[in-house]
Amino acid sequence: MSEMWPVFVVLGVAVVVLLWCCITFNRLVRLRNHCVEAWSNVDTELKRRYNLIPNLVDTVKGYAAHERQVLTEVTRLRQEAAANVGSPKQQAGTENQFVQALDRLLARVEAYPELCASANFLALQRELANTEDRIQAARRFYNGNVREHNNLVEGFPSMLIARIFGFAPREFFEVQDLRIRTAPAVWIS
């Protein structure tokens, strides 16, 4: 019986290591799925914003027909951003350009007091501001999940399991310009 003791120790260590590998693999899968779900939430909110923009542009067109260049640029960038289904980094670049153009449009609107007083325009601005808040919350949720995923993928010893099964760090969805990090201002009379 005393000769079997080392075998039991080795077997016990092997079981513990195997159990740890299974638990770590399952955590990696769970975090990967959380990241996919969180990105889906960001994508949903971005699509919501894209759907609001044509209404906003149409409302502004009625009051500010000579702002055609800004309206055309917002429409073009909206289409580009909506069509971009690349990585979070690629989409962030397109989003940065789109939000800058949207900010320019909203800044030009200030020159039209009758537009600023329009009930349709005010409702669209409120909805856009609400959507921007929702996008920011979805980004934070996504980036939090990415942080947890990356910590596990890059940390030792879980990185061993991650490398064996092909888990890689994920990209954060970051906005480069600090001015873009805030929701567009809403002008309410």
DSSP sequence for 65-125: GGGHHHHHHHHHHHHHHHH--S-HHHHHHHHHHHHHHHHHHHHHHTT-HHHHT-HHHHHHH
Cβ atoms of 167 and 32 closer than 8 Å: yes
Cβ atoms of 31 and 145 closer than 8 Å: yes
Return the residue matching tokens 């009625």: 62
pLDDT number for residue 54: 87
- Domain 12-181 CATH class label: mainly alpha
Residue 148: alpha-carbon gap to chain centroid: 15
**Residue extents of the structural domains in the chain:** 12-181
Identify the band that residue 186 occupies on the pLDDT scale cut at 50, 70 and 90. Answer: low
pLDDT number for residue 22: 96
Identify the band that residue 183 occupies on the pLDDT scale cut at 50, 70 and 90. Answer: low
How many other CB atoms are found less than 10 A from the CB of residue 155? 10
Region 89-93: mean pLDDT is: 88
Residue 77, by phi and psi: left (phi above 0), alpha (psi -120 to 50) or beta?
alpha
pLDDT number for residue 31: 97
